[in-house]
Amino acid sequence: MLKTETPSSQHPDLDLYPVADLVSALVDDQLEAVSAVRAAAPDLARAVEAALPRMLDGGRLIYAGAGTSGRLGVLDSVELYPTFSWPHERAVGLIAGGAGAMFVAVEGAEDDAAQGGRDLLTVKVGPRDVVLLLAASGATPYVLGALQAAREAGALTLGFANNTGAPVARQAHIGITLDTGSEVISGSTRLKAGTAQKIALNTFSSALMVRLNKVYGNLMVDLKASNAKLLQRAVALTMRAAGCDEAVAMATLQGCDFHVKVAIVAIRLGIGVDTARERLDAVSGSVRQALTSGDPSP
The neighbour count for residue 159, using CB atoms within 10 Å, is 27
Give per-residue burial for 81-99: e unless 16+ CB within 10 Å, then b: bebbbbeeebbbbbbbbee
Question: Is residue 166 packed enough to be buried (19+ CB in 10 Å), middle (13-18) or exposed (0-12)?
Answer: buried
Would the CA dihedral through 107, 110, 113, 115 be positive or negative? positive
Distance from C-alpha of 84 to C-alpha of 63, rounded to nearest angstrom: 17
Query: For 244, phi and psi rounded to 5 degrees?
Result: -120, 175
- Sign of torsion, CA 115 117 121 123? positive
Which residues on neighbouring strands pair with residue 64, listed in sequence order?
94, 133
Q: How far apart are CA 250 and CA 206, in angstroms?
A: 27
Q: CB within 8 A of 291, min separation 6: which ones? A: 264, 265, 268, 269, 298
| Residue 49 appears among annotated catalytic residues | no
Q: Which of 32, 110, 152, 183 is catalytic?
A: 110
Annotated active-site residue in 32, 79, 107, 152:
79
Greatest CA separation for the chain: 67
Phi-psi sector, 103: left (phi>0), alpha (psi -120 to 50), beta:
alpha
Confirm whether 79 is a catalytic residue.
yes
Please give the positions annotated as active site: 79, 110
